[in-house]
């Protein structure tokens, strides 16, 4: 085999312990974290024409945080040189080694002049591979997507305490709230289930509920951009995601967060990322995205307007006539 030739993912599966060159559409990525050693690591899921019904994992190991790939869109293309095919517990994936592997990321704009929007140190695009890039970008824009569906998918109105689930949402904002902790503000147009506060009113004077739970405040110009219908859920990152906000390009994008959970904190719902959480950017024509946009538009145009959907007990009113 020509060591410089790009091969289909399907063919790479038969080359365990060999180095191969691959090109594929990035479908999923994990937030950057420290490996068990001194490296940083991120896991990508990629597809190509030979492997479009499944997804192939690529483990990227780098010595510096800024050398990890930062995905921008749902149809980004990555070209990988000299990644090693390995097998562990019956599953095959590619390992990117900082000593001999290299990569480059392309989108629809950067593929026209073959100038990647990000590349690892030492990457050099081989001339025979230029045609692969254009064809792959076209493939990524044409391949049908249904990433927003799944058996674990919930909306904000279906949250259950401590349950693991996937969430299709728009990431509105990210804020650093502690040295190693970030908070995402996400929205899908729904209201979270109502909660009651188990507080002994006799002790309210000694132990009052805080008027503001957060130890920080979001800038007013950011708050003014938040939607006025539906709950804005605050999602806390995991301890391993200390650099999350430095490597995330998803603000304003519809996103599928895979494998997260939630809890009740001081009488409010709070989302939690796990060390195994993953992210997928979604196009605006994804079926789950369209469903959420349609529900919001119907809600705004309906009789109830922006009134929260959970209005119980029924004897509470929301209108004042003078």
260 or 144: whose pLDDT is higher? 260
Specify whether 290 is located in the same domain as 168: yes
Is the Cβ–Cβ distance between 189 and 233 less than 8 Å? Answer: no
Q: Tell me the average pLDDT of the chain.
A: 88
Residue 202: per-residue pLDDT: 61
Is 203 a residue whose pLDDT tops 90? no
Looking at 95, 112, 142, the residue that finishes a domain is: 142
Specify whether 279 is located in the same domain as 167: yes
The residue segments making up the domain with residue 16 are 9-142
Closest by alpha carbon to 60, among 77, 87, 78? 78
129 domain-assigned? yes
The count of structural domains within the chain is: 2
Is 90 a residue whose pLDDT tops 60? yes
Residue 47: per-residue pLDDT: 94
Q: What is the mean pLDDT of residues 82-93?
A: 96
Specify whether 222 is located in the same domain as 110: no
List, as one string, the DSSP characters of 72-132. Answer: -STT-EEEEEEEEEEEETTEEEEEE-TTT-EEEEE-TTTTTTT--SEE-TT----GGGHHH
Q: Give pLDDT tens digits for 45-71.
A: 999 999 988 899 999 999 999 999 999
3-state secondary structure 146-196: CCCCCCCEECHHHCCCCCCEEEEEEEEEEEEEECCEEEEEEECCCCCCCCC
pLDDT range class, residue 143, cuts 50, 70, 90: confident
Task: At 289, give phi and psi (nearest 5°).
Answer: -65, -45
108 or 6: whose pLDDT is higher? 6
pLDDT range class, residue 7, cuts 50, 70, 90: very high
């Amino acid at each position: 085999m020509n060591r410089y030739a790009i091969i289909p993912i399907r063919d790479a599966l038969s080359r365990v312990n060999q180095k191969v060159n691959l090109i594929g559409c990035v479908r999923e990525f994990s937030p950057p974290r420290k490996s068990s050693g001194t490296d940083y690591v991120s896991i990508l899921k990629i597809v190509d024409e030979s492997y479009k019904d499944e997804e192939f994992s690529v483990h990227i190991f780098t010595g510096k945080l800024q050398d990890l790939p930062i995905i921008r869109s749902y149809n980004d293309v990555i070209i990988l040189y000299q990644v090693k095919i390995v097998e562990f517990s019956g599953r095959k994936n590619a390992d990117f080694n900082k000593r001999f592997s290299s990569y480059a990321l392309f989108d629809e704009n950067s593929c026209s002049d073959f100038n990647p929007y990000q590349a690892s140190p030492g990457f050099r695009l081989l001339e025979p591979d230029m045609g692969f890039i254009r064809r792959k970008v076209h493939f990524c824009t044409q391949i049908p997507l249904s990433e927003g569906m799944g058996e674990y998918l919930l909306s904000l109105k279906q949250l259950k305490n401590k349950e693991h689930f996937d969430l299709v949402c728009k990431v509105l904002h990210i804020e650093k709230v502690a040295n190693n902790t970030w908070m995402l503000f996400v929205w899908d147009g729904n209201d979270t289930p109502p909660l009651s506060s188990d507080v002994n009113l006799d002790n309210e004077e000694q132990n009052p509920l805080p008027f503001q739970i957060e130890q920080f405040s979001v800038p007013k110009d950011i708050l003014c951009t938040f939607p006025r219908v539906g709950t804005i859920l605050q999602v806390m990152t995991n301890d391993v995601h200390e650099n999350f906000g430095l490597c995330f390009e998803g603000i304003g994008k519809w996103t599928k967060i895979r494998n997260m959970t939630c809890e009740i904190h001081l009488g409010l719902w709070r989302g939690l990322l796990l060390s195994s959480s993953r992210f997928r950017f979604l196009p605006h024509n994804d079926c789950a995205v369209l469903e959420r946009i349609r529900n919001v538009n119907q809600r705004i145009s309906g009789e109830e307007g922006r009134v929260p959907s959970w209005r119980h007990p029924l004897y509470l009113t929301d209108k004042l006539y003078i």
